[in-house]
Structure 1
Amino acid sequence: MKFTLSWLKTHLKTNADLATILKTLNAIGLEVDGVENPAEKLGGFKIAKVLTADRHPQADKLQVLTVDHGDGAPLQVVCGAPNARAGLVGVFGIEGAVVPANGMVLKKTAIRGVESNGMMCSTRELELGDDHDGIIELDAAAPVGQVYADWAGLNDPVIDLSITPNRQDCMGVRGIARDLAAAGLGTLNAIIVPDIAGVGPGPDVRTDDVEGCPAFFARTVRGVTNGQSPEWMAKRLKAIGQKPISTLVDITNYIMIDLGRPLHVYDMASLKGGLVARKGKAGEQVLALNGKTYTVDETMTVIADDEAVHDIGGIMGGEHSGAQDGTTDVLIECAYFTPERIAMTGQKLSLTSDARGRFERGVDPAFLDDGLSIATSLVTHLCGGTPSEATHAGAPPVTPKLVDYRPDQCLTLAGVYVAADEQKRILESLGFVVSGQDNRTDYEDGVPVTVPGIWSITVPSWRRDIDGWPDIVEEVVRIVGLEHVPSTPLPRMPGVARPTATAEQLVERRVRRTAAARGLAEAINWSFLSEKEAASVGGGQWTLANPISEDLKVMRPSLLPGLLSASRRNMDRGAASVRLFELGRRYFKQGERATVGFVLAGEKQPRSWQDGKAQPFTAYDAKADVMALLAAAGAPVANLQNFGEASAAYHPGQSGTLRLGPKVVLAEYGVLHPGLAKQFGLSGTVVAGEIFLDAIPGKRKSGFMRAPYAPPALQAVKRDFAFVVADSVEADALVRAVKGADKKAIVDARLFDVFTGPGVDEGSKSLAIEVTLQPGEKSFTQEELDAISAAIVKAAQKLGGVLRG
């Protein structure tokens, strides 16, 4: 919702400065998305007068101007505008000014051998319009030397608010002004509703779809002259990004933004018979104002005449029946459409508009007659013409909503004491009608007792979000200030508080902390991908029927695309090293799968002072992170088996999977496939991994408690073995074989050396393994140690291993 500061002050009488207004808006729940002052980027552009204009000696289409800019001696400027001439008063960009349209910094230069200082500007170059056929021509009386933005009244900040769906009343400038007045920033100016003296009967309109359009009010104005909007209206619309079209169209847009009341104007010459709000018929089509054709159905409300559909009710009008330059007779429509019908229709047609954004929130149903009168008054004032009487077809839902409320409920619910008089002032400032009794003092056995009064509050017609007394408390507290709400802990139950986190949540917390401790930064990406991104990791199984956009159409089958996109964005902005992880869900037909993904890209370490080279990440870095995260998640890392290559997203020969047996895959990791890295715009070596939390076996439920930890009474014994095996034998397989040689005595085995070279045949390698033996009730005898060693050698022989001498 955009509006200018001067526009706001047409409704709010205030002396507050911009900073105070912005602070108050945020405080009362109207979030400020941004503020932009057009004058700030036009500070280097002044009003100047062309003194002389001579033909450029080297170019027929250029002129050499002498320009008086009000500061020192006149300057020479080369200009190619066809309307440049002596005596013209225009806008001059001084040296150092930045042209808004292209960011060019103006400086002294030579054009075809002639020195040029600054620039005479067009409206397009200053982003004040689309005209680029010539330079700006101002009134001859414009003060030379004055900053153009100040003289033209452009020093008017544009405020952009993010309005939540429940605040339909703030989809108009007046509603925002009402909130600020209630917050003590001024006084709300009275709205003037003109009394229209209609001539002749009103137009033939009716509503046959009371569920979608309960009320259809209209009035005709004959003998109008359409043209360009007055400067004050066009200026306000342009300031907030609305393109002025014609007076009739601009009036409807202006009232929609000013008062939150959408309207529509029909050219009566294009209508055949009366207008009716009815349900659409299967196959009916509407060529809308955006130039697109839409097919409606029986669930949608349309406005039609005797021959055709002219309007998708409450969302967008038709192109052929809208007001044109030659329109002389118009029908002004002011209708009420039910929010549910508007939202459903807009979603089905994938059609958005400013009108839809207001109707689906819910416009004021009691403002139809007044809105129609205001629109009629503007039409007759700016376009002339004779208005008819108004036709009122149907009736809007204006039954008052009453809420019983006690002033002490504010303290009870929000913990904030607000005097009853102040609560009443706030509510009445917001448009609520408060009646009933205030607190009174009674006596019981001579002791004064306060008896709380009960108010009956009538909710204003523009606040359909108010449902009960807690909503009344919210209104009071947000105006008083949420900073006054005390931070009070909830009362604890007697004894030890019960844990609320599930086992899965506890696992995710441990994994998240472990990833952060290892230097990874958490990323939170969309759960949706484009079809192309999903295909790069095997394709998604769920496609959205109504996606936000084509780039967010498929539920992600992998976390990698989002992490890779985030990595590219970071590296595009100069990050030398990227370490990102995400804890989220993958989506398959069988359901959601909890997953942890990470990406390591760029430099592993800064460039070395010795050779100036950076150290890249390797597949072993990915494996180390995978093992650490699996351990944090409670996986039996000591029992995991390393299987060859991972999915097609990874580099063949530089990737792997960690499994519990050949079928249960807990994780995959490795160097990313170069083709996939290139697709996401990443260069160099990129490593990644995914841990499938749903595949990690949970703790077994048992009726027995775990035995208390008892450290072994005897010291462990360590023995080293070196086996010569073929190059094709995986070290992991040999380690697992050694550990299985005597499961009772051997508690651990790990690889600590790999050797190839003298003494080892070509095609073979030496693997050195440290074995940890733990005695039980008594120390090992030499015979027992020899037997265990023989069992280890025998286990290695099954893989072709030979004990190295």
Structure 2
Amino acid sequence: MRISLNWLRELVDFDLSPQELAEKLDMAGFEVESIEDRRTWADGVVVGKIITADRHPNADKLQVCTVDIGAVEKLTIVCGAANARQDLYVPVATIGTYLPIVDLKLRPTKLRGVRSEGMICSLAELGLAKESSGIYEFEEGIPLGTDVRPLLGLDDAILDVSSTANRADALSMVGIAREVAALLGKDVCLPLATIEHQPKKLEWVAIADAKACPAYIGTLIQGVKVAPSPEWLQRHLEAAGMRSINNIVDITNFILLEWGQPLHAFDADTLAEGINIGVRFAKPKESLTTLDGQERALHSQNLVITSGDIPVAIAGVMGSETNEVSETTTNIVLEAALFDQATIRRSARAQALRTEASARYERGVNAAALEIASDKAIQTIVQLAGGKVVEQSTVDYRAPMTRTIELRLERILQVLGEIELENGTITYLTEEDVEKTLRSLSFELERIKPAEESAEASSDESESSEESTTRWLVKVPSYRYADIEREIDLIEEVARIYGYDKFCETLPARTELGYLSTDQILLRQVRSALRGAGLTEVIHMSLCSPSSSDQIKITNPVATEYSALRLDLLTGLIDACVYNLSQGNGILNAFEVGRVFGKDEEGSGETDHLAGIFGGDPTVGTWQHNTQPYDWYAAKGLLETVFHYLGVNVEFQPDQKDDRLHPGRTASLWISGERLGTFGQLHPQLRAERELPEQIYAFELDLYALLEAIARKSIPVFKPYSTYPSSDRDIAFFAPFKTTVAEIKRSITSAGGELLSSVTLFDQYTGEGVPEGQRSLAFRLVYRASDRTLTDADINPVHQKVRDTLEEKFRVSLRS
């Protein structure tokens, strides 16, 4: 809101500079975004009188003027304004004057051969208008040489102040004046109505929804004369960024700016069926042409003011063009009403229309000031536009807006801590400080007497007890009713007005450098490994559509499709893969770290998972084309690469529990006997339904199980590479299908001992010559020692032990 210092000084007496006041407001929680010091716009511009105005000898559109500014010598000024003429009183910028609006410093110059010693100014050159057709004309009789700034309202400074959403009272001059008075220890001179009007009380206002419109005051004023507003009123509005329209409309805007209470004036003679005002929500197919000239289709969310059940205004937002006050208006109905914050917010949003009135209703206006604003507006209208207050209709459903909060001195000192006085003394706030600060903001305080002390207690103990138990009952003023709700709000007011800068900065006694937790370090390693494998991290919402009884449902969802919490991450990744493909971006190779939720017999629970999806042809869309997309082993290898990077040993076991995955190409993952998760190819039926290509692979892991396994691994210690040659031995045998390769490799590794360097499956065969229900497997075993070259005598016993273990444990039929 734009705050005029001249207007503010009418309400509270202070002598601070604009910069000093801005600093005070900043420290009190009101951000001053800019300072518009108008005193610099016309510094050096004075009132002058054109003595003569002759045609320029060398230019048809220029005049050579002799100007008297009250000095001994007259000025010769070349002027191009069409309205320059003899005996005209004008603003004159003298030599040396700087006009910041046009970025011009006046110097003696020659125009078409004639010397010019200044400039006769228009309002545009002084910053008071965007465009001007000619120079400004003062009334006759003003002393020559007078500074023009007081005459044009340029002796003012404008502060652009923004406030937080909870401070609706700060959207008014009275609200800011109360703050300034509290900060400076001054009194506020409230601009109250000084005369009483006694109109006839009638009932021509009806409210359909008391919650949407708690109160409405309609006043009929007859015989008004619509005319331009007086100069003081126009300046007040212009300083606040509003344009002057006519005296009636300007008065409603003036009261809005002064008290923060929106008002509206209807031309009474244009209302349908006489004066019969109603407040209701719009009906289907109703429309209204608003004051901005736009025809607007009304929605069911729009609260409207009606006359004869015909909409004449969007309540709290904008009035109708049909019923606006014009030069022909003689009778008006003045509206002063309270509207619900949420109702006006929805109504304005439905029309994509936000006005000064709706901005205040959305934050909440002071319900107790409704009559004050209405009376002040009526008084001002009668004074400036004449007329007679004939009748008034009032509907009031307001509940008492009183609130009393208990405040403890002990809690104040605990929250705010110590203060530093001007002499450097460190102390605490006293009871008097608290009371003085809150009373300056119009809070009413009543001290609660502490319980009587025991007769045995010493006087010192009694004083200490009384101080620690000092409490007040604080009555909140009506204009802060929506803002002050708890004890901590009162404590904030004490700190804000007393001065945040006066409180000591208390740092912790001992500080330490920040660090990452073990889980954070390990999770960064996991993310790095997955990115290194070519996967991109994605993030999805935890909310999804309900599809299972195991899901946790949301009681107040924003939409049906977001009414439950997700059970897994894989569903979201599959949806993302489908969307990515439909947008022409190819297969989504991605992973996600996120929280999943579920419930069982013990109640609801949550945990973190790691999931990923990848596959297809990675060369699609490039000049290289690979007709062989990921197969099972390549996909499994990608995951094993990640595990190898993380230093964990993961076993793959056949699995068929997830019906979204191929029953013959799905594995459960295990670490040290603990289930880690599932990996597999998407089920052909699911791929067909979602129109996905073949061989898309996905995995979902328990993140905590993976992080624990990484944390358990021993610190890697470098071992020198063996300088001695290795010895390879192959072993082939028939094994049942139910025996997994992982189990076989684990047994071979255990039996091989320290001499066995690696075990690799290099061949698998099924078909002719292989017994039914079995397959032929061939492994390459590499033996190596770090201190010698192995001989057959070293290798044969170990290799034979491996063979015996396979025969005994798995009943294999050895072929070599």
TM-score, with structure 1 as normaliser: 0.63
Query: CA 1:208–1:41 in structure 2 vs 1: closer, same or farther (change >3 Å)?
Result: same
Query: CA 1:426–1:439 in structure 2 vs 1: closer, same or farther (change >3 Å)?
Result: farther
* Between 70-79 and 311-320, the greater mean CA deviation after superposition: 70-79
Separation in 1 of the partners of 2:345 and 2:13?
A: 36
Partner of residue 244, structure 2: 244
Which stretches in structure 1 are left out of the alignment for 5+ residues?
A: 512-544, 546-586, 594-642, 654-658, 666-693, 718-743, 746-774, 782-805
Query: CA 1:267–1:81 in structure 2 vs 1: closer, same or farther (change >3 Å)?
Result: same
Q: Which letter does structure 2 place at the counterpart of 1:703?
A: A
Percent identical among aligned pairs is 28
Question: Which residues in structure 2 correspond to 1:163-178 (within 5 Å)?
Answer: 163-178=163-178
Q: Secondary structure at the match of 1:212?
A: coil
Separation in 2 of the partners of 1:296 and 1:504?
A: 57
Q: Which letter does structure 2 place at the counterpart of 1:472?
A: L
Q: Which letter does structure 2 place at the counterpart of 1:223?
A: G
* Between 434-443 and 378-387, the greater mean CA deviation after superposition: 434-443
Out of 778, 786, 789, the residue aligned to residue 777 of structure 1 is: 786
1:412 deviates by: 2.8
1:425 deviates by: 2.5
Q: Does 1:418 align with 2:429?
A: yes
Q: Does 1:710 align with 2:717?
A: yes
Separation in 2 of the partners of 1:5 and 1:352?
A: 27
Partner of residue 650, structure 2: none
Query: CA 1:589–1:4 in structure 2 vs 1: closer, same or farther (change >3 Å)?
Result: farther
Say if 2:402 and 2:478, in contact at 8 Å, map to a contact too. yes
Say if 1:202 and 1:220, in contact at 8 Å, map to a contact too. no
Separation in 1 of the partners of 2:326 and 2:723?
A: 95
Partner of residue 271, structure 1: 271
Say if 1:15 and 1:186, in contact at 8 Å, map to a contact too. no
Separation in 1 of the partners of 2:302 and 2:223?
A: 34
Say if 2:522 and 2:707, in contact at 8 Å, map to a contact too. no
Q: Which letter does structure 2 place at the counterpart of 1:701?
A: L
Separation in 1 of the partners of 2:34 and 2:155?
A: 16
Query: CA 1:486–1:277 in structure 2 vs 1: closer, same or farther (change >3 Å)?
Result: same
Say if 1:203 and 1:218, in contact at 8 Å, map to a contact too. no
1:104 deviates by: 4.8
Partner of residue 730, structure 1: none
Partner of residue 482, structure 1: 500
Deviation string 1:562-586 (CA, Å, 9 cap, x unpaired) is: xxxxxxxxxxxxxxxxxxxxxxxxx
Query: CA 1:133–1:483 in structure 2 vs 1: closer, same or farther (change >3 Å)?
Result: closer
Separation in 2 of the partners of 1:47 and 1:24?
A: 36
Question: Which residues in structure 2 correspond to 1:527-538 (within 5 Å)?
Answer: none
Separation in 1 of the partners of 2:382 and 2:277?
A: 22
Deviation string 1:633-657 (CA, Å, 9 cap, x unpaired) is: xxxxxxxxxx999999xxx99xxxx
Q: Secondary structure at the match of 1:265?
A: strand
Q: Does 1:397 align with 2:384?
A: no
Partner of residue 343, structure 2: 341
Q: Does 1:197 align with 2:214?
A: no
Separation in 1 of the partners of 2:251 and 2:340?
A: 23
Separation in 2 of the partners of 1:645 and 1:63?
A: 79
Say if 1:50 and 1:67, in contact at 8 Å, map to a contact too. yes
Partner of residue 446, structure 2: 435
Query: CA 1:215–1:106 in structure 2 vs 1: closer, same or farther (change >3 Å)?
Result: same
Q: Does 1:458 align with 2:469?
A: no
Q: Secondary structure at the match of 2:332?
A: strand
1:455 deviates by: 2.7
1:144 deviates by: 2.9
Partner of residue 304, structure 1: 306
Q: Secondary structure at the match of 1:183?
A: helix
Deviation string 1:337-390 (CA, Å, 9 cap, x unpaired) is: 011111121222221111111111110111111211111000001111111343
Greater gyration radius:
2
Q: Which letter does structure 2 place at the counterpart of 1:429?
A: S
Q: Which letter does structure 1 place at the counterpart of 2:713?
A: R
Query: CA 1:264–1:445 in structure 2 vs 1: closer, same or farther (change >3 Å)?
Result: same
Deviation string 1:201-230 (CA, Å, 9 cap, x unpaired) is: 457222112121111112111111111111
Q: Which letter does structure 2 place at the counterpart of 1:710?
A: V
Query: CA 1:40–1:496 in structure 2 vs 1: closer, same or farther (change >3 Å)?
Result: closer
Separation in 2 of the partners of 1:186 and 1:197?
A: 31
Partner of residue 681, structure 2: none
Separation in 2 of the partners of 1:481 and 1:715?
A: 74
Partner of residue 11, structure 2: 11
Separation in 1 of the partners of 2:521 and 2:253?
A: 52
Partner of residue 287, structure 2: 285
Partner of residue 317, structure 2: 315
Say if 1:29 and 1:478, in contact at 8 Å, map to a contact too. yes
Q: Which letter does structure 2 place at the counterpart of 1:176?
A: I
Separation in 1 of the partners of 2:108 and 2:619?
A: 64
Partner of residue 25, structure 1: 25
Q: Which letter does structure 2 place at the counterpart of 1:425?
A: K
Q: Secondary structure at the match of 1:462?
A: helix
Q: Which letter does structure 2 place at the counterpart of 1:28?
A: A
Separation in 2 of the partners of 1:145 and 1:238?
A: 26
Query: CA 1:480–1:198 in structure 2 vs 1: closer, same or farther (change >3 Å)?
Result: same
Separation in 2 of the partners of 1:254 and 1:138?
A: 25
Query: CA 1:420–1:708 in structure 2 vs 1: closer, same or farther (change >3 Å)?
Result: same
Say if 1:174 and 1:259, in contact at 8 Å, map to a contact too. yes
Query: CA 1:716–1:325 in structure 2 vs 1: closer, same or farther (change >3 Å)?
Result: farther
Question: Which residues in structure 2 correspond to 1:447-526 (within 5 Å)?
Answer: 447=458, 448-449=461-462, 450-451=465-466, 452-463=469-480, 464-488=482-506, 503=520, 507=524
Say if 2:185 and 2:440, in contact at 8 Å, map to a contact too. no
Q: RMSD of aligned C-alpha atoms?
A: 4.3
Separation in 2 of the partners of 1:132 and 1:31?
A: 34
Deviation string 1:410-454 (CA, Å, 9 cap, x unpaired) is: 123333543223322222221222234245762352333324244
Separation in 2 of the partners of 1:485 and 1:505?
A: 42
Separation in 2 of the partners of 1:262 and 1:505?
A: 59
Which stretches in structure 2 are left out of the alignment for 5+ residues?
A: 419-427, 529-557, 559-572, 580-616, 625-629, 640-698, 725-756, 759-783, 791-816
Separation in 2 of the partners of 1:161 and 1:438?
A: 41
Say if 1:197 and 1:389, in contact at 8 Å, map to a contact too. no
Query: CA 1:712–1:436 in structure 2 vs 1: closer, same or farther (change >3 Å)?
Result: same
Separation in 2 of the partners of 1:258 and 1:187?
A: 17
Say if 1:202 and 1:388, in contact at 8 Å, map to a contact too. no
Separation in 2 of the partners of 1:444 and 1:776?
A: 91
Partner of residue 352, structure 1: 354
Q: Secondary structure at the match of 1:281?
A: coil
Partner of residue 43, structure 2: 43
* Between 15-24 and 288-297, the greater mean CA deviation after superposition: 15-24
Deviation string 1:531-577 (CA, Å, 9 cap, x unpaired) is: xxxxxxxxxxxxxx9xxxxxxxxxxxxxxxxxxxxxxxxxxxxxxxx
Separation in 1 of the partners of 2:510 and 2:101?
A: 61
Q: Which letter does structure 1 place at the counterpart of 2:287?
A: Q
1:5 deviates by: 0.9
1:332 deviates by: 0.8
Say if 1:275 and 1:303, in contact at 8 Å, map to a contact too. yes
Q: Which letter does structure 2 place at the counterpart of 1:60?
A: D
Query: CA 1:589–1:386 in structure 2 vs 1: closer, same or farther (change >3 Å)?
Result: farther
Separation in 2 of the partners of 1:283 and 1:331?
A: 27
Query: CA 1:196–1:590 in structure 2 vs 1: closer, same or farther (change >3 Å)?
Result: farther
Separation in 1 of the partners of 2:114 and 2:522?
A: 73
Separation in 1 of the partners of 2:105 and 2:97?
A: 6
Partner of residue 229, structure 1: 229
Q: Secondary structure at the match of 2:714?
A: coil
Query: CA 1:245–1:55 in structure 2 vs 1: closer, same or farther (change >3 Å)?
Result: same
Say if 2:174 and 2:190, in contact at 8 Å, map to a contact too. no
Partner of residue 701, structure 1: 707
1:163 deviates by: 0.9
Separation in 2 of the partners of 1:187 and 1:466?
A: 22
Partner of residue 56, structure 2: 56
* Between 69-78 and 242-251, the greater mean CA deviation after superposition: 69-78
1:106 deviates by: 4.6
Partner of residue 210, structure 1: 210
